[in-house]
Structure 1
Amino acid sequence: MTSRRSLLKFLALAPVAATLAGTAFAVPASGKASFASRRPPVGKRKFVSPAVERAIAQTKARIADPELAWLFENCYPNTLDTTVEVGTLDGQPDTFVVTGDIDAMWMRDSSAQVWPYVSLAKEDKALQRLFHGLIRRHAVCIGIDPYANAFMPDPKAKSNLDWAQHDITDMRPGVAERKWEIDSLCYPIRLAYGYWQATGDRTPFDDSWHAAMRKVVQTFKEQQRKDGPGPYKFQRTSQNPTESQFLQGYGNPTRPTGMIHAMFRPSDDATLYPFNIPGNLFAVTSLGQLATMLRQRFRDETLAAECEALAAEIRQAVETHGVIRDSQGDLWAYEVDGYGNQLFMDDANVPSLLALPYLGSCKREDARYRRTRAAVWSARNPYFFKGRAGEGIGGPHEGMRMIWPMSIMMRAFTSNDEAEIAQSLRMLKSTHADTGFMHEAFDQDNPATFTRSWFAWANTLFGELMVQTVQHYPAALRQV
């Protein structure tokens, strides 16, 4: 059977030309005489935003390093240039956003891909329409199946993903893949709240969106599993064990704690212990944001109070069961089961332990987070890799030695240390393998060995990082 991994993997092998010297990561020289734009011609771009084009020009002018400026110009608009389809659905604005090299829309990826443009929407009517359409499409998707992670462009179509054709689960029309991941319902809330805060625009938040949010809360409560396993199960025939779940698809045993069960991580890999801590902390943040919107937009005090009570219950459960009591100080676990079993690791996909402040789930200065951050960026994390090309976090999804640029970006996003930010940018600059774009993962010793040549989330995330660095840490750019 064709798997997602085998379909997406694009490996280019090349010798490593240099080795590490201290903390300066060395890679083969590009040999470029110039940095010509890798964007599609204007007439072939999927979506054009005047505000985004102005932001590109303004930000690029403040990046002295020509290669970093070139990477920014290629990456920041990549979602708009290549992955967005704007139209109508049932007479309403509709926006469908593919991940890049897969013709389906992940709830997580689509939200994250457009996030760097939220702050520009107030001044750009075209962007506002894009957000109206995507927020509405998310509501449609949640209405189809809140347990699905990915959806088809046609809400009535059967999945066209080779690897999902024979999944043992309740597949419905419009669903591309049905892996239950907590963050699939958190990301649409984050996007909706961020858009509303940035613009004050209430247009997309209609009765359909309100109904979808009720279903989000219902699903979170179902997956607390206080009264049995709930309605969701998933199995898949695959040579890779992380593609399926244990015990007839319900996952490993748990003791109910108040936390939400997740059958899959943000990587789309199966959880080992069903209480994923980054996902549950993300849910706490999202439920608080949703409560604010429900009160101010819909005057729905009942559902808002339900959100706040659920968030408080989850937070208390995470504090009770999700903390590793270490001799050097408390750390967050990555997954637990409520019986006392705890897994310490981190995965590059967001939400992750490293990314908690980026998602608003804690402050960068929080002492427990700082200890956790140091531990996941070290050999204590089995998925932390360090080689001649760089260092960073990967995960089971692409296997050993494979560093995800996303983790390097999250290290920079969660830092106020200019030297650390500069080192992160140097690694990103030196590991794009002369493509001008970010990738899913690269080999720790050879960046020419990479996966996914077209991964829009990583590209726009890099663009967001460059905007933040220019605005808040310009001195770091002078150290790259």
Structure 2
Amino acid sequence: MNSRRYFIKKSALASGAVLASNSLAFSHSLYNQKEFVSNRPSKKDRTFSSQIIEEVIKETTSKLKDKELAWMFENCFPNTLDTTVHYFEENNQPDTHIITGDIPAMWLRDTTCQVWPYLPYANDDEKLKKMLVGLINRQIKCVLVDPYANAFYLDAAKVNDGEWKDDITEMKPGVFERKWEINSLTHVIRLSYEYWKTTKDTSPFNANWLKGMKLIYQTFKEQQRLENDGPYSFLRVTEHIRDTVPHYGFGHPTKKNGMIHAAFRQDDANILPLFVPDNLMAVQELRKLSEMAISLFNDTEFSEQCIAMSNQIEKAIKEDAIVQHKEFGEIYAFEVDGYGGRIMMEDPNLPGLLSLPYMGICDIDDPLYQRTRQFTLSEWNPYYEKGKAGEGLGSYHWGKGYIWPLGTISRALTSSSDEEILFCINQLKANHAGTGFIHESYKKDDPTQYNRDWFSWANTYFGEMILTLLSTHPHLLT
């Protein structure tokens, strides 16, 4: 069983659900609570605190007209800080290890997403700022241990003696899991760039940081596979096809076109090795890295290498990953092989096809994106789920029958429609199973059957959605 996704719970509350209304009014809560008591840990039990974030919580909850929504925001927005941060200093340098929640390991992608909504407040709280610097430092340490790994222990010397110790790949000390995902590394670039742009602080960006970034570039180059298959392969003895990689651990054959190959997307093995959302993100993040190489290090050669690779990937996407759909016209495929093969589906993680504007990869009004978005939210997407509890993006990860709130949040953040945004809010309100927290997924016919009590990325993402909508659509919430 995959330890990343392992917990299905039947809520103690009565089962049943109310399908969220499409009307421009909040639906009634399933739970009809008169008093919403905070589910945050006591102050003494919180793993990290930030004065500015506490002020944001207080101000935001006072603005929200819906008491249940305010309660959910108070529970969710600080959940990363409250429960997952291990901050310390080593040789006077900040170091921050952040677990994903109910699994005691740090995912590179998750950590960037977990702290992303706190970045705008970094200049208002020195303690928060140092925590973010510590995370940048920790991410670089992890990359230098193994750029092909996706998740890491706090103890860099720990030898994996757990569930994945027998994976047939090069497991190194400090590595919790070694599933090669492009977005593990692109999210490392994303956090560094956004921190730099937000704070103007250059203290994390030293020779070690540049060494890590050049290793990221080298890893991308290896996985373009223009000369050979590269050094990475992965096999796992498992009953789940999504947890191992075909063709002796290298993936299905491809026609090399400059796109980056990956074994996994978000914990799940790719069906075809050229995963389009991750390659679109790589185009963007390589350009950011090029800017940082020039501005911070005056490294013209590395900057030009990043731009050249970005352009190469973008050209291949335009040629091989934009396909004709009989219902929607030209849209992005989900995965391709360069030979003309394509997988047409969507997954609710970041990046995905639906979340491209949220990730800054394209404009929300881009016609190609809008056609692709229509596909992802239609019956043509095999993982769009409808049930008694509502509807939304599902995932290949659990198979059919589960709705993932991450996708519902992304839908709200990429919509300009009041009706659609409120529909998404109602879905999230109606399906938290009385906990006041966001889960990884729940059964489409019964939200009291869900997995992951404690998944801080989803919680923080929900908080980010509320703050964003208060800025862009305040009339809907206040």
TM range (shorter): over 0.9
Match of 1:102 in 2: 103
Superposition map of 1:213-224 within 5 A: 213-224=213-224
Which residue number corresponds to residue 316 of structure 1?
A: 315
Counterpart check, 1:64 vs 2:62: no
Q: 1:282 — aligned with what? A: 281
What amino acid maps onto 1:393 in structure 2? L
Cα distance in structure 2, aligned partners of 1:280 and 1:117: 26
Q: Alignment partner of 1:424: what SS?
A: helix
Pair 1:378-2:378 in alignment = yes
Q: For residues 117-137 of structure 1, what are the alpha-carbon distances to aligned partners after superposition, in whole Å with 9 as ceiling and x for unaligned?
A: 000001110011101110000
Question: Whole-Å Cα distance in 2 between the matches of residues 377 and 123 of structure 1?
Answer: 39
Q: Give the CA deviation at 1:20.
A: 4.3
Deviations 1:19-74 (A, max 9, x none): 64874797873142200000111111111111111111111111110000000010
TM-score normalised according to structure 2 size? 0.96
Tell me the CA shift for residue 91 of structure 1: 4.6
Query: Contact between 1:76 and 1:460, CA under 8 Å: does it hold in 2?
Result: yes
Distance 1:19 1:88, change over 3 A: closer
Distance 1:143 1:441 in 2: 33
- Three-state SS of the structure 1 residue aligned to 2:285 is helix
Look up the match of 1:124.
125
If asked which structure has higher relative contact order (CA below 8 Å, sep 6+), I would say 2
* Equivalence for 2:297: 298
Q: Residue 423 of structure 1 corresponds to which residue in structure 2?
A: 423
* d(CA) in 1 for partners of 2:135, 2:358: 22
How many residues were matched structurally? 475
SS at match of 1:358: coil
Indicate how the Cα distance of structure 1 residues 290 and 11 shifts in structure 2: closer, same or farther if over 3 A, else same: farther
Compared with structure 1, are the counterparts of its residues 18 and 194 closer, same or farther at alpha carbon in structure 2 (3 Å cutoff)? Answer: closer
1:149-203 per-residue CA deviation (whole Å, 9 max, x = no partner) reads 001101111125x331110000001111000000000001111111111110111
User: Could you tell me the percent identity over the aligned residues?
Assistant: 43
SS in 2 for 1:449: strand
Summarize deviations over 1:338-359 as a string: whole Å, max 9, x none. Answer: 1110111001111100011111
Q: Secondary structure at the match of 1:242?
A: helix
Aligned partners of 1:97, 1:242: CA distance in 2, in Å?
26
* Aligned residues of 2:18 and 2:30 also touching (Cα < 8 A): no
State the 1:15 CA deviation.
Answer: 6.1
CA contact (8 A) 1:405 1:439 kept: yes
Give the counterpart letter for 1:258 in structure 2.
G
> What is residue 437 of structure 1 aligned with on the other side?
437
Q: Distance between the aligned counterparts of 2:94 and 2:18, measured in 1?
A: 52
**Is 2:450 the counterpart of 1:447?**
no
Matched to 1:197, the amino acid is: K
Tell me if structure 2 keeps the 8 A contact 1:18–1:27. Answer: no
Q: Secondary structure at the match of 1:176?
A: strand
1:188-232 C-alpha deviation (Å, 9 max, x unpaired): 111111111111011111110010000000000000001111000
* 1:13 Cα offset (Å): 7.9
Whether the 8 Å contact between 1:419 and 1:476 is mirrored in structure 2 is: no
- 1:472 aligned residue: 472
Q: Is the 8 A contact 2:73 2:466 kept in 1?
A: yes
1: distance between equivalents of 2:279 and 2:321? 10
Instruction: Supply the AA of the counterpart residue of 1:387.
Output: G
Q: How does 1:117-266 map to 2 (within 5 A)?
A: 117-160=118-161, 162-266=162-266
Q: Deviations over 1:296-337 (max 9, x none)?
A: 111111111110110000000011000112354210000000
Q: Counterpart of 2:389 in 1: which secondary structure? A: coil
2:89 corresponding residue in structure 1: 88
Kept in 2: contact 1:104–1:151 (CA 8 A) = yes
- 1:398 is displaced (CA, Å) by 1.6
Indicate conservation of the 8 Å contact 2:87/2:96, yes or no.
Answer: yes
Would the aligned equivalents of 1:17 and 1:28 in 2 still touch at CA under 8 Å?
A: no
Contact 2:19 2:430 in 1 (8 A): no
In 2, distance between residues paired with 1:168 and 1:18? 44
